[in-house]
Structure 1
Amino acid sequence: MSLPMLRGCCRVPSTFRLFLNQSVILSRSGKQRLPSSSPAAAVTAAARPYSSDPGRQNTKQKVRVVGITNPFIWFRTRIYYFLIRAYFDKEFNIEEFTEGAKQAFSHVSRLLSQCQFEALEGLVAKDLIPKLKEKCSLMPLSHKEALSAESYEIMHTVPGDVGIYYDDNGRKFVSILMRFWYLTSARLPDHDMEGTRFFQIVIGGEGEEETKRMLTAIYEFQREFTKGVPPDWTITRIEHSRLLD
C-alpha cells in the first residue's frame, strides 16, 4: 500500500474550540461547557464568512491543531525516525507518512463501513481480515456507519509508538502506530458511546443543526525492509474506540 501525501486543509462547517480528551458541548448559541482538567491537545477553527445566496451567510474555516506532547515520547520517536532514515529508507519523512496514513485510514475505514472485506486484501494483514469480518458482522448499522472517516472529517492525526525489529529469519520490519480523531454524523446510542465527545454545529444557514461526535481510531502500519521485498506498508492493527474494541 503506497502512502502518497494528501494536500489541502480539513474543513468543518462551524466555529468551535474542541479539547481532545475532554467532553465539549457546543450549542447554536456558542456556549461551552468544559471540564476543569487541562487538555492534552486542542483543535481550533477560525471562521471566515462567505455568501452562498443573497441574504444568507455561511462559514467555512481551516482547522489548526495545537498539541502538547510528552517530551520523552517526542525525543524517542525522533531517534527512531533518524534510524529509519539512516538504515532503512533515506527518503523517509514523518510528515509525508502522516499525510499518507490519513488517506489510507480514510480509504480502509470506508471499506470496513461497507463490509467490503475482499477489497482489504493487500491493504490489511491477512490474519486481521477474518477478525474484522467477525466483529463487523455483529455490529448494528449505526456502528458500521461510524467506522467511516472521510478525509475532511479527520480533525487530528498523531504518530505514536515506532518499532524496529528483526525476526528469527533476519527479516527487518518497521511499524508505526497512528492515532486519528475524526467526526461522524452516525446516530449512536449514548449508552454505547460513553466517554466519546459530542457537540452541535451549524451547517449552512439558520436552523440547520447537526450533532456530530468526535471518535478515535488507532491504525498500525508495518513495512518489511528485507532486501527484495516490495516497499509496501500494511495495516496490522485496527481499533475504533467503542466500535471495534
Structure 2
Amino acid sequence: MSRSHGPGSLPSASRVPVAFSRPYSSDREPQRQRQKMVVVGIPNPFIWFRTKIYYFLIRAYFDKDFTIQEFTEGAKQAFAHVSRLLSQCQFEALEGLVAKDLIGKLEEKCKFLPLSYKRALLADPDEIMYTTAGDVGIYYDDDGRKFVSILMRFWYLTSARLPDDSLEGARVFQVALGEGEAETKRLLTANYEFQREFTKGVAPDWTITRIEHSKLLD
C-alpha cells in the first residue's frame, strides 16, 4: 500500500499531569465518599496543527460529516468493548471489529499471560481518564483504493494487582474511597489504531489494525 499523505512519528502529549479533586458524595452514595481523578494532556502545538489539517482533508475528500469529537467518542466505546473481550480471551467475538491477522497475533500473546495481566487489559468506561488522537494517515494502494487511519491513545485506571516493576512508566495511585478506605490503582496507557477504507461501494466500517497495552502484550 502506498502513502499519498502521511505524518511522521507518533505524536503524543508532551506532558500528562494528573490532578485530584476534593472528595465528593452523591445521593446514590450518601455514606461513601469518592475521589475524582482528572488527567490533562498538553499536546505539541505543531502536531496539533498538523492533525487539524488531516481532519480537514478527511472532511473535504472522504467524509463531509466527519468530526474528531464524534470519532473519539466512538473509539472510546470500541476500546472499552474490545479490551473487555481481550481480557476474557473471547477472540471469536473480535471478528468484524479487529483485523483478522491481528486477532491471531493477540490470541497467541494472550495465551501465556498471567491472570493479573489479563485483568489489566480491561478498561472500564468509567476508568478511562483521558483520550486523545495521535497519528493520522491517508493512504492509496496500487489499485486506487483509499484508506484513512487514526491512532488513538487512552489512559485508564486498573485495580489489577501487577508486580511493581512489571510495567515501565505505569503510575501507582492511592484513590480514597471514604474515611479510612483507599484503593491502589495503576494508570496504564493503550494505543489502538483504527482504519477505514473509503473506496466507493465499500462498507463504512472502522477496523482496529493495531493494539498496544502498555507492556502487557509485549
TM-score normalised per structure 1? 0.79
- SS of equivalent to 2:165: helix
1:172 aligns with one of 141, 146, 166: 146
Matching of residues 184-195 of structure 1 within 5 Å = 184-195=158-169
Q: Which position in structure 2 is the counterpart of 1:214? A: 187
Task: Say which of 4, 20, 24 aligns to 1:49.
Answer: 24
Q: Which residue of 2 aligns with 1:107?
A: 81
Matched, 1:224 2:178: no
Aligned to 1:143: 117
- 1:47 Cα offset (Å): 3.2
- Aligned partner of 1:126 in structure 2 is 100
**Residue pair 1:201, 1:212 contacting (<8 A) in 2 also:** yes
How many equivalent pairs are there? Answer: 205
Alignment gaps of 5+ in structure 1: 1-19, 22-38
Query: Which structure's residues are more often strand, by fraction?
Result: 1
CA deviation after TM superposition for structure 1 residue 64, in Å: 4.8
Match 1:82 to one of 40, 43, 56: 56
Aligned to 2:8: none
- Cross-structure match for 2:3: none
CA RMSD of aligned residues (A): 1.9
Q: In structure 1, what is the equivalent of residue 6 of structure 2? A: none
- Contact 2:149–2:194 (Cα < 8 Å) also in 1: yes
Tell me the SS of whatever aligns to 1:74.
helix
For 1:161 and 1:201, how far apart are their aligned partners in 2?
32
| Residue in structure 1 matched with residue 91 of structure 2 by the alignment | 117
Q: Structure 1 residues 89 and 49 mapped into 2: Cα distance closer, same or farther (>3 Å)? A: same
- Say which SS state the counterpart of residue 59 (structure 1) adopts: coil
In the alignment, which of 74, 85, 91 is matched to residue 65 of structure 2?
91
Query: What residue number does 1:40 align with?
Result: 15
SS at match of 1:192: coil
Q: How does 1:200-211 map to 2 (within 5 A)?
A: 200-203=174-177, 205-211=178-184
Distance 1:66 1:143 in 2: 26
1:43 is displaced (CA, Å) by 3.8
Distance 2:40 2:34 in 1: 22
Deviation at 1:72, TM superposition (A): 1.1
Distance 2:21 2:173 in 1: 17
Give the aligned residue type for 2:211: I
Matched-pair contact (CA < 8 Å) for 1:43–1:155: no
Aligned-pair distance for 1:68?
1.6
1:109 partner letter: S
Q: Secondary structure at the match of 1:58?
A: coil
* C-alpha distance after superposition, 1:7-53 (max 9, x if no partner): xxxxxxxxxxxxx99xxxxxxxxxxxxxxxxx713343433532644
Provide the rounded CA distance (Å) in 1 between the counterparts of 2:41 and 2:146. Answer: 32
Structure 2 segments unaligned to the other structure (5+ residues) = 1-11
Identity of aligned residues (%): 72
1:111-142: per-residue Cα shift (whole Å, max 9, x none)?
00000000000000001001000000010000
Aligned to 1:25: none
